[in-house]
Chain A
Amino acid sequence: MLAGLNKDTLVKSTTHKVVLPFYLYAAISLLAATVMLCFSAEAFTRHYFHPHILAVTHIMALGWGTMMILGASHQLVPVLIEHSLYSNKLAYTSFLLAATGIPLLAYGFYVFDMGWPAKWGGRLILLSILSYVINLLISISKSNGKNVHAIFILTASIWLFLTAFLGLALVYNFTFPYLPKETLQYLPLHAHAGVVGWFLLLVMGVGSRLIPMFLISKYSNKYLLWVIYVLVNGGLLSFLGLFLYFPGSTYHLFPVLTVLIAFVLFGHYCLRSYNLRIRRQVDEQMKISLLSVLLMLLPFVFLVSITGWLLSDKLNTQLVLIYGFIIFFGWITLIIFGMTFKTLPFIIWNKVYHAKAGLGKTPNPKNLFNNRVFIIMTMSYLAGFILFITGIYLADVFVLTFAAVILIVAALLYNWNVFKVMLHKAKIK
């Protein structure tokens, strides 16, 4: 007990018991996705609407990306919204529902059975997201500081809900066609609501708070963040309007450019934070996170090309495959690599050393994982990533399989380091 301490002034962080299951699930999902990639290499020489590709994409988007981000956001919510998380029970509920729903949905896609596995998978995932949104909404409503970061994360979670809702609607459309267009035609809407509305908005909201914090930067620009917020959401809403009322028009470049401008401004924000940092040394995890910001540019290049192809009615499916692969296996994965070893060691350090603080010299959180393994993992992952893109371009099964094996090695190294951190035992000198 901290005698004389006004504890109301300290916002309580979320317990590790809530956060760690999400991290563990995500780590195993990455391994599962890379193994599936290896056994489904041949699918990547065909059309992107292939059952195995749908299964891998959803394991990457939900099991890996979303589970990791949900876990980290439960931990970071108090930092972002300036208030403790409303309910741990809702967080556990969210985990259990998603953890059950994701394999069901992935199995449904893999065998292309849009019956009960895909439907129940989708329903459980939707309920999981609903639990998360409710938890977030009540937490924010109870906080005093309705800041820009809180609005980013709340809006992102609403986009996630809409993405999952549309996804479930599309699953139903396979068995009871009721939508005016074919399911395949709704995929760009479903995918971009998820990628831009959920992932990009969340990365920008969380990154704009954490990057200056970790760099101990003097830079702050709330106005710029609001402009970015309006541009991303405006771009996405205009895409929705164009999709519904002006399909195939050249105006489709407008949302791409709007989001591109938002991205350039966010890059400027990160660069200013970096240049005005007090802490000169930047660790590998921060470098990877900053590299992933740069890597966001690559999908834009492909998106402009794809929009061009779409407008000329000659869609290149390889281009679409590479575009999706860069987003999920490139941009999102690199962000998570950096974020995992920036946040997980602190969560474990707090768990192991909280009661022992001040009793002697404790190891630094960054010493809880093996940095050399982290660098080897990153290098092997980048090699496998580039090789896999080459394989898609060449439509060569051997290259794709070989690249997938390298990605499995990287995923194993990632899991090894995650388990090393999670199983850390107290060492006090």
Chain B
Amino acid sequence: MNVISNNNIKCTIALAALENVVDPEIGLNVVDLGLIYVVNFDEANKKINAAMTLTTQFCPMGESIIAAVKRVLENTFAGEEVLLELIFDPPWTNERISEEGKQFLNR
């Protein structure tokens, strides 16, 4: 999984939770789709600094997907503030889809 993090254990928990957030059009979750770029944990300040992208900057479902990612992180790590950044550099490409994701789309 091509996700940057400073805490592998907590990142695994975060990504497992984020597998429940599905792109409604594609039917694939945001983790296997490769939309999550960064999940860093600021233990001292109880903050999660995350960065994600969308398949296109003009995705009509974008706001819903972002809101879901933020809400899932907040629910999974109760008491920690989630700072979610939406970035398009580097842009999302098909290459970011995981092997599981490719298998799902190839069904």
User: A interface vs B, CB < 8 Å?
Assistant: 2-7, 9-13, 75, 78-79, 82, 213-214, 216, 218, 278-281, 346-347, 349-350, 353-355, 357-359, 361-362, 364-365
Contact = CB atoms under 8 A, between A and B. Distances in A.
Nearest to A83: B58
B68 interface: yes
Given A2-B66, A13-B60, A214-B25, 9 more contacts: A3-B81, A5-B84, A9-B88, A10-B63, A79-B58, A79-B60, A357-B21, A357-B64, A358-B67
Interface string B40-64: 0000000001000011111111111
B94 A9 contact: no
Majority SS of interface residues in chain A? loop
A205 to B, nearest CB: 15
Contacts of A349: 24, 61, 64
A244 B25 CA distance: 48
Contacts of A9: 57, 86-88
A8 to B, nearest CB: 9
Contacts, number: 108
9 contacts: A3-B84, A5-B84, A9-B88, A13-B60, A78-B58, A346-B24, A357-B65, A357-B68, A362-B24
A358 B56 contact: no
B100 interface: no
Contacts of B26: 216, 279
B65 to A, nearest CB: 7
Contacts of B88: 9
A3 B68 contact: no
B67 A357 contact: yes
B57 A3 contact: no
A346 B23 CA distance: 11
